[in-house]
Amino acid sequence: MGCCIWKGGKCNKRSGNSCPRVEDPTPSTTALCDNEDTCCYFRCDMLSLDDDGQIGQIGNCGKDCTVAVLPDYRGIKFDELYLVTSGYYTGEQYYGYDTGPMDIQGTNKNMLDRCKDACFGAPREDPTAIFLLDIKKSNDFAKKKSCEWLSSKPAAAKKRICVKRNLSTRGLSPAGVVCPVTCAPYL
């Protein structure tokens, strides 16, 4: 029994068995950052927010392990990264937001706040998302519309559709659920 010893991308087998090579995750390699003084340095889909308000990096695998971790927008990988209120942990070391290997730029150095705002902040909506507007009684036809269509309507129509048309059937949800930003002033 035994696993591969990987050298130069090739498996040197032991005892005839082989184990799969652990690969880096394949989504695009780095995060995007428009303004390094205000952005979250990490991809939102690679972060998780726990019930205590701490943000953890998806793929954390222990000290000195970055094999399942995507890099930040600069291409730097952090092992075992956790963002907390007053600082962050990486490689089992604690750092304040104004110190350490992350080298946070800008006046607001609190990466927890930045990432919470960017990744877990206010609700967002897809303008092409479809909601159930109405059901015709004569032929049981489901009338569907998009959030973009709803956002172009006058305030009175938005309010009526967001509040009074609380329909849900056939896998379609009401406007208040599908279009949370457009319906927010009326809910």
Distance CA 120, CA 116 (A): 5
pLDDT tens digit sequence for 52-71: 889 999 988 888 888 888 88
Q: Where are the beta strands (DSSP E) in 110-167?
A: 130-136, 141-146
Does the predicted model carry a pTM greater than 0.85? no
Distance CA 162, CA 154 (A): 12
What Cα–Cα distance (Å) separates residue 166 from each residue in 127, 169, 183? Answer: 19, 10, 12
Handedness of CA 91, 94, 97, 100 (dihedral sign): negative
pLDDT tens digit sequence for 15-62: 444 444 445 444 444 567 878 888 899 988 899 998 888 999 998 888
In this structure, what token pair is assigned to residue 141? Answer: 């036809």
What letter would DSSP give residue 8?
T
CA–CA–CA angle 130, 148, 131 (5° rounding): 20
